[in-house]
Chains A and B, each alone.
Chain A
Amino acid sequence: AQTVTQSQPEMSVQEAETVTLSCTYDTSESDYYLFWYKQPPSRQMILVIRQEAYKQQNATENRFSVNFQKAAKSFSLKISDSQLGDAAMYFCAYGEYGNKLVFGAGTILRVKS
């Protein structure tokens, strides 16, 4: 079974600084998708960024980028120029072509002003 591990229960970053959230996963499949979701306190989960495993190029969405290392089964999220609104729980998730998502336990990101 696929598993997703987020080893950082909590991270802090100063406003305008850069932070990297770690995620590793385990699978025997070669084709899959990886996602980072953001869940602000008491608010619904929203998609931050996705990566297709067959693409070598790392995905980027504005201030958010990933470092996808397929051989190492690593998928980290980098947030540049952190803003107060980035404070949330971040979940790494693994999926295969529209099937269920497998989530990590999450990382709480705190942004200090």
Chain B
Amino acid sequence: DTGVSQDPRHKITKRGQNVTFRCDPISEHNRLYWYRQTLGQGPEFLTYFQNEAQLEKSRLLSDRFSAERPKGSFSTLEIQRTEQGDSAMYLCASSTSRTGDPYEQYFGPGTRLTVT
């Protein structure tokens, strides 16, 4: 068990460019979550998947944001036409939904996005 991994760890992009982040969950976890965290604040939920199905999306997830988990393993989060307000840490977490498990979410190290 190598934990949740995210790539890249840092991304600097110019306003208007598209960016894509990847998250690899813990291998036996079927649920995968994306959160956004701005400096000094708690993470805010963006979206989550159970296997390949996207079960919930936050209103924070504008039309410029899209997330996929095509084979129920890794996930990608794409931001189109980035804006300076998109600058934040993007966190991925995973968990299992097996009955009896404590539903703990395990977090990755995050991708820090800076939009200039």
Contact = CB atoms under 8 A, between A and B. Distances in A.
Interface string B77-99: 00000000000000101011100
B13 to A, nearest CB: 21
Contact of A105 (B33, B42, B93, B110): B42
Interface residues of A, number: 24
Given A33-B102, A97-B103, A98-B97, A103 B40 contact: no
Contacts, number: 55
A4 B42 CA distance: 10
B109 interface: yes
A10 to B, nearest CB: 11
Interface string A61-102: 000000000000000000000000000000101010111111
B97 A44 contact: no
Interface of A: 4, 33, 35, 37, 43-47, 50, 52, 91, 93, 95, 97-106
Nearest to A47: B104
B107 A52 contact: no
B66 to A, nearest CB: 18
Nearest to A106: B42
A45 B42 contact: no
B112 to A, nearest CB: 9
